[in-house]
Amino acid sequence: MKLHRRKVLHLAAVVGALPFASRHVWAQAYPTRPVRIIVGFPAAVAPDIVARVIGQALSERLGQQFVIENRPGAGSNIGTEIVVRAPPDGYTLLLAVSSGAINATLYSNLGFNFVRDIEPVAMIGLGPFVMVVNPKLPAKTVREFIAYAKANPGKINMASQGTGLASHLMGELFKMMAGVNLVHVPYSGSFTVDLLSGQMQVAFVPITNVIEYIGDGRLRPLAVTTAKRADLLPDVPALSEFLPGYDATGWNGIGAPRGTPPAIVEKLNKEINAIVLDPGMKARFIGLGVEPLSMTPAEFGNRIADDTEKWAKVIKFANIKAE
């Protein structure tokens, strides 16, 4: 029996569309079993808490458990590599944080490329930092601080949470853009006591870590590190008001192994955006020091790539080596 040419073409089109249709139906049903969110940090620290909040909300919305799995070590690189090596099926996700963009240059022997090997799924929010000084320092504004630092090169101690971490690189970006010489003092733990005593004069820290000390006057905020003023400290100027182009913000988001089906990425993006835009969830995230922000996967990918390029310049300028 001969088939009419038009029928043959129609059958070929139907057969060709079957794999796409099956993938689409599969993505619509996703998830059909528990999903892991890998966190490259210990339990109870800020990224872990953010992951648990978003995981619980996704569990409620999608009807499957989103289980948090802490795999700390090597500045979050261990957790990232687990996700990179996982099947790209949507059942292993990464709590992606801004340190991934830093580590891309800081570590020379990574077994993966953060920009190339992690599929950007959705932004959760920004983690604004603030530049604070001990009130004994005779500088009440960023302009006064820069003038004082230039008049006293190498005499101001800048504390950080460790070499190559966000608090360090934000300070190095400030030094680079302001043209000042500050003495970097890395800590393996908290430096708050030394900052309050005046042994350390300046630091770049998450707002929630020091908001109590700002409120009672034991620390003086000079500026937030976000491109615009932060909701948590609306009366404190942004560093970009003094140093145009300065934007050094931590962030949290969700990533997946490269090659994860686009329909699953889009479904997760839609759900996460709905979560971060919900008024109740927004208030909850702000209380955790995270300013919720929705993005498309492409926008999130651009943010990761831009930050990777920016921190590479700072790391090379300051000749920072991973410890």
Per-residue pLDDT at 27: 67
| Tokens, residue 174 | 């400030």
Please name every residue paired with 127 in a beta bridge, in sequence order, or none if there are none. Answer: 250
Per-residue pLDDT at 75: 85
Are 131 and 142 in contact, with CB atoms under 8 Å apart? Answer: yes
CATH fold match for the domains 33-126+249-318 and 129-241:
yes
- Architecture (CATH level 2) of domain 33-126+249-318: 3-Layer(aba) Sandwich (3.40)
Per-residue pLDDT at 8: 47
Sheet holding 129-133, edge to edge: 183-186, 157-160, 202-206, 129-133, 220-224
Phi then psi for residue 33, to 5 deg, are -155, 170
List the domain boundaries for the chain.
33-126+249-318, 129-241
d(CA 75, CA 77): 6
| Closest to 236 measured CA to CA, from 135, 137, 140 | 140
d(CA 20, CA 115): 27
d(CA 260, CA 255): 10
d(CA 102, CA 76): 11
| Tokens, residue 88 | 């790209």
d(CA 188, CA 246): 27
> Tens-of-pLDDT digits for all 323 residues of the chain?
444 555 545 555 555 555 544 455 556 789 999 999 999 999 998 899 999 999 999 999 999 999 999 999 988 999 999 999 999 999 999 999 999 999 999 998 899 999 999 999 999 999 999 999 999 999 999 999 999 999 999 999 999 999 999 999 999 999 999 999 999 999 988 899 999 999 999 999 999 899 999 999 999 999 999 989 998 899 999 999 999 999 999 999 999 999 999 999 999 999 999 999 999 999 999 988 899 999 999 999 999 999 999 999 999 999 998 87
Across the chain, mean pLDDT equals 92
**pTM, full prediction:** 0.86
Q: How far is CA 132 from CA 154, 177, 227, in A?
A: 18, 17, 17
| Tokens, residue 271 | 């759900």
Per-residue pLDDT at 50: 96
Q: Which CATH class is domain 129-241?
A: alpha beta
Q: Hey, what amino acid is at 193?
A: V
Per-residue pLDDT at 21: 44
Are 253 and 105 in contact, with CB atoms under 8 Å apart? Answer: no
